[in-house]
Amino acid sequence: MRRRPFRFFVVALALAPMAAGERNALAGTDEDGDVERVQSSSCSSSKIQRQTLFAVSFPPDTPISAVVERWSRRTCRKFLLPRKLGERRITIHSYAVVLFEEADALFLAMLRSVSLGLERAGRFQRVVEVERQDEPRRDVLARFSIQQLQLTSVVSSPVDPVALIDAPKGPGQMVRLGDRVGKRAMRVVEIRPDQVVFEAPGNTEKETLQAVVTPGWEIGEGWVGTPGP
């Protein structure tokens, strides 16, 4: 199994109390009072390196507003967030650090899990409500067996659960129910907080990919630890 290159800087995206002043200029309000301008004057970096590693941990039923605020602070992106949409809640279970592009995909998956998306609004990205549409199922990670894969993160949702699965080579892939994974094109039939269940073609057998919790991580408690080398 591929190990993450821990020599790179690790950024923690966790839900924890912000220090006094940390929210300085983080959020403003449009004139109508119904939309927050989420922007950070003290974001971590004006440029996120593609080699940066993120540790993502949000406890059950975290409001979307908290997720958007954290993502803005870590990436220096600016968002417009209608207050009512910000009240929607998500749960993410995380078991390892992820690359920036994977963290970005997780952020979009969190929004999608509660029927939200993004659209450009000048210098901002506006969080909008989107209609759920059926998408064609994909074949992913076809070069590998299920045993070679690692379950990295799960966005829990009764409507659109998503799992981030890592492979020995290349970035992780987001998988949804119905996607076909691995050399045997095993179909995803269930996504649980700590495992993904696959079914072989013809419903002949099932196989489970179980999350392996790295020592030092407390999953779902809003605390992020950095795995050792």
pLDDT at 206: 94
Judge whether 20 lies within some domain: yes
- Torsion from C-alpha of 133, 136, 141, 143, nearest 10 degrees: 180
How many of the other CB atoms lie within 10 Å of CB of 43?
17
Report the Cα–Cα distance between both ends of the chain, in Å, rounded.
14
| CATH number for the domain that contains residue 25 | 3.30.1370
Directed axis angle between helix 100-113 and helix 64-75, to 10°? Answer: 160
Q: Provide the pLDDT for residue 50.
A: 59
Residue 154 lies in a domain: yes
Domain end position, chosen among 72, 107, 129: 129
pLDDT at site 203: 79
**Neighbour order of strands in the sheet with 116-121:** 27-29, 35-38, 79-82, 124-129, 116-121
The ranges of the chain with pLDDT < 70 are: 1-33, 40-51, 214-229
**Do the strands 180-181 and 186-192 form a parallel or antiparallel pair, or are they unpaired?**
antiparallel
Residue 11's pLDDT is 54
Q: Are residues 191 and 123 in the same domain?
A: no
Look at residue 42 and tell me if it is in a domain.
yes
Count of structural domains within the chain: 2
Q: Residue 20's domain spans which residues?
A: 10-129
The reported pLDDT for the residue numbered 93 is: 87
Q: Are residues 38 and 58 in the same domain?
A: yes
User: Judging by DSSP bridges, how do beta strands 35-38 and 27-29 pair with one another?
Assistant: antiparallel
Rounded to the nearest 5°, which phi and psi values hold at 68? -65, -40
Per-residue pLDDT at 96: 84
Tell me the β-bridge partners of 117.
128
Three-class secondary structure of residue 149 per DSSP: coil
Q: Please check whether residue 104 lies inside any domain of the structure.
A: yes
Question: How far is the CA of 118 from the CAs of 96, 100, 115, 124, 182, in angstroms?
Answer: 26, 18, 11, 10, 31
- 116-153, pLDDT tens digit by residue? 999 999 999 999 999 877 777 899 999 999 999 999 99
CATH of the domain at 148: 2.30.30.830
If asked whether residues 96 and 195 sit together in one domain, one would say no
Is residue 225 in a domain?
Answer: no
Tokens of 60: 């059950």
